[in-house]
Structure 1
Amino acid sequence: MAEFIKIYNENPNPREIKRVVEVLRKGGLIIYPTDTVYGLGCDITKTKALEKIARIKGVKLDKANWSFVCADLSNLSDYVRQIDTPTFKILKRALPGPYTFILPGNNNLPKDFKKKKTVGIRVPDNNIARAIVESLGNPIISTSIRDEDEVIEYTTDPELIYEKWQNLVDIVIDGGYGHNVPSTIIDLSDSEPIVLREGKGSLDIL
């Protein structure tokens, strides 16, 4: 059964963050807050954890389109090919924020993502998510948790999330109520930006 950990976004407790990171390093799954909807994630280098998430989501791992949650733009070059100045300016304007950017991947992608030509990058405007990634030292996966109920597409109450997910993950972080609008997805892998999904982030950044 999952642990239910309360962490405050204004000032994430380093001890609690460390506990989450320990679980991620052992290949555990977490549900964590972002600046949009709550996310389901694991360490991007842990194959077994990635396979577990793929099973939960009902997709094949090599077909899954998940984003990497990064702490900031500094480790982008670890996973992304050289990006031009206009693209970098868009990223600088938008991040941290409620956006997912599709960028051309490079040869350093973890082994489970080697075949991918592109990678989705998230730098959420949420201190908890960014503190976890910073402490872990590499990105975590971001895939949203959805309700089957079409009226409420995303669960926003951490206690209800815990009730539903407690037997599927190792930690559910209560970071306060989430949002029910997902991130805006923008493809920057080609010459012109293409908006793939309009979500919480404004398009004024383009």
Structure 2
Amino acid sequence: MAQHVSIHPDNPQARLLQRAAEIIRQGGVIALPTDSSYALGCHLGDKAAVERIRAIRGVDERHLLTLMCRDLSQIGQFARVDNATYRLLKATTPGSYTFILEGTRELPRRVLHPKRKTIGLRVPAHAVTLALLAALDEPLLTSTLIVAGDEGPLTEGWEIQDRLDSQLELILDCGNCGIEPTTVVDLTGALPTLVRAGLGALAPLGLD
């Protein structure tokens, strides 16, 4: 049975964040709010937890997960970032964007695109998520909380508990969360390429 805790959306309680971080380090899968929708999250290095997320989603290893980072320095540790890309990232993070970048050797091969060796990274603009990443002191591997067979993400903590109580260790509930996805941008080429238009504005990327 999942622990279901109410967390303040703007001033999250430190003790709840520390509990969440410890659960993640111990191999747990959690539900957490983000600036776009609720997400599933687990430790980057935990293969079993990753497989649990894929089972909830009903996807296989071809479906890539997103690495959620605290800031630009973490992105630079796990992805190859040149000067032009750094300036673009600095202008758009934190924000509702997922950036496709070439991964570094710090990442397990199983989380990279099998051919391109890329991964999606983001720095979310949500107080709870950023505070959790600070408490964890490392990135979080995540996927939008869409249950297998559903068309869209779950938007309420109680709804997540009803559907996934036995499949999660913790639900961080800060009330209704949105359903619009992040804007996805591929930064592996000479110019940014729009993969999916979503919440993040296109103008800062020169794609409007």
Q: TM-score higher than 0.5 here?
A: yes
Distance 1:186 1:76 in 2: 15
Residues 28-81 of structure 1 show CA distances to partners (whole Å, capped at 9, x for unaligned) of 0000000001001101111111121122223333x2311101111111222112
- The aligned residue for residue 113 of structure 1 is 111
Distance 2:117 2:150 in 1: 34
SS at match of 1:75: helix
Query: Given the two structures, how large is their TM-score scaled by the length of structure 1?
Result: 0.92
Q: Deviation of residue 177 (structure 1)?
A: 1.1
Q: Does 1:42 align with 2:42?
A: yes
- The aligned residue for residue 85 of structure 1 is 83
Bigger mean CA offset, 166-175 vs 51-60: 51-60
- The aligned residue for residue 11 of structure 1 is 11
Q: Deviation of residue 113 (structure 1)?
A: 2.9
Matches within 5 A, 1:4-83: 4-61=4-61, 63-81=62-80, 83=81
CA RMSD of aligned residues (A): 1.6
The amino acid of 2:100's aligned partner reads I
Sequence identity percentage: 34
Distance 1:95 1:176 in 2: 24
The amino acid of 1:84's aligned partner reads D
Distance 1:19 1:65 in 2: 27
- The aligned residue for residue 185 of structure 1 is 184
**Residue of structure 1 aligned with 2:95, choices 82, 94, 97:** 97
CA contact (8 A) 2:3 2:169 kept: yes
Bigger mean CA offset, 94-103 vs 113-122: 113-122
Number of aligned residues: 202
Distance 1:64 1:156 in 2: 22
Q: Deviation of residue 6 (structure 1)?
A: 0.9
- The aligned residue for residue 132 of structure 2 is 132
The amino acid of 1:195's aligned partner reads L
Distance 1:178 1:200 in 2: 13
Distance 2:174 2:188 in 1: 32
CA contact (8 A) 2:43 2:49 kept: yes
Q: Deviation of residue 149 (structure 1)?
A: 5.0
Change (3 A) 1:58 1:156: closer
Query: Given the two structures, how large is their TM-score scaled by the length of structure 2?
Result: 0.91
Distance 1:67 1:91 in 2: 16
Q: Deviation of residue 194 (structure 1)?
A: 0.8
